[in-house]
Amino acid sequence: MILIHQILNVACLLLWLNWRSIGFVTIDSTAKLSLLLTLKRTEPKFAARWLYLVSLLALLLIRGLFYWHMGSATNWTPVIDLIAITLPFRSDYFLPMLIFSASSFGLLLAGFYGWLLLISAVNHKVTDSDPFQKLLRFHLGWLERFPAIMRFFLPTLIAALLWVLVNPGLERLGIIPAPVSTNLLWQQAALLGIAAVLVWKFLLLGLLLLHLLNTYVYLGNAPFWHFVNLTARSLFRPVAWLPLRIGRVDLSPVVGIAAVLFIETLGRNWLPLLYQRLPF
């Protein structure tokens, strides 16, 4: 069930990206097309775009029904891992399964946009001449207008605020106990906001590994490799003063990978313990 769930989550994300990307293709192509040709091509694209969104909503509903029937039959208890706390959902009722279906995809989507926000923040000086940076900014939309430092902290802030907003609903479903005070609620929100930063782990590891590979193995001049190297160098700009180069050997990717793994391990070990000891 877990494997099926992950595959369906990826399918939902692809539907969302297709819904968003069709608008990018339409906008990007209008400069090269006549007005008449643009109008002819926009109608089917507009219809196809909303078809992706309807398909996404239908898939979330259908898999909620599927989890309800299969989960109770197999005694499966789905959970959402927020690092500091794990939220279990009862599979013998339809409403919790529908909420789980939507919220698990929402968590994946939030993590994806958390990746985009990090890249957008570190590459804030990169122009739209880079095709990957341009596509990234399109997907972020109005979030791209925020200052770079605010984009960096947005995942933490949004995660904390969302916890405060969804807390009453989780209480009614019996998933979490009611906080004994408002102070406890905000302390929980702060810890979950910090935990949200750990979603960057796989993005950072992937970028650093690709940068390390491309540093010592020539993989061509494709725009993708240029974007990877540019982003990796931007990540290390705040610590450029550290002596991470020995002759021609650049140790920054290796040090970066070790730092990411250390911080992620520290967070997964300590955040649940801190959550259990609240309030401070």
Q: Measured between alpha carbons, how far is 111 from 135 in angstroms, rounded to an integer?
A: 17
Residue pLDDT, tens place only, 180-238: 899 999 999 999 999 999 999 999 999 999 999 988 887 878 889 989 999 998 998 88
More confident residue, 254 or 250: 254
Q: Are 244 and 238 in contact (CB under 8 A)?
A: no
- pLDDT of residue 259 exceeding 60, the answer is yes
Q: Measured between alpha carbons, how far is 113 from 124 in angstroms, rounded to an integer?
A: 16
Q: Are 71 and 92 in contact (CB under 8 A)?
A: yes
Residue showing tokens 């990978």: 257
Q: CA angle 174-85-166, nearest 5°?
A: 50
Mean pLDDT of 257-271: 95
Query: What pLDDT score does 57 carry?
Result: 95
CA atoms within 13 A on the CB side of 156: 12
Residue pLDDT, tens place only, 142-192: 999 899 999 999 999 999 999 999 999 999 989 999 888 999 999 999 999
Mapped onto helix, strand or coil, the DSSP state of residue 143 is helix
Q: Are 69 and 62 in contact (CB under 8 A)?
A: no
- pLDDT of residue 25 exceeding 90, the answer is no
Q: Measured between alpha carbons, how far is 140 from 13 in angstroms, rounded to an integer?
A: 15
Query: What pLDDT score does 44 carry?
Result: 52
Q: Where are the alpha helices (DSSP H) in the chain?
A: 2-29, 35-74, 94-122, 131-140, 148-172, 182-196, 201-216, 223-235, 252-276
- pLDDT of residue 27 exceeding 90, the answer is no
Query: What pLDDT score does 209 carry?
Result: 94
Task: With cut-offs at 50, 70 and 90, classify the pLDDT of residue 131.
Answer: confident
Q: Measured between alpha carbons, how far is 150 from 68 in angstroms, rounded to an integer?
A: 40
- pLDDT of residue 36 exceeding 50, the answer is no
Residue pLDDT, tens place only, 77-129: 999 999 999 999 988 899 999 999 999 999 999 999 999 999 999 999 888 88
Lowest mean pLDDT among 38-47, 133-142, 154-163: 38-47
Residue showing tokens 């935990």: 195
Q: Which candidate, 109, 4, 12, 17, places its Cα nearest to that of 61?
A: 12
| Residue 141 structure tokens | 């939309």
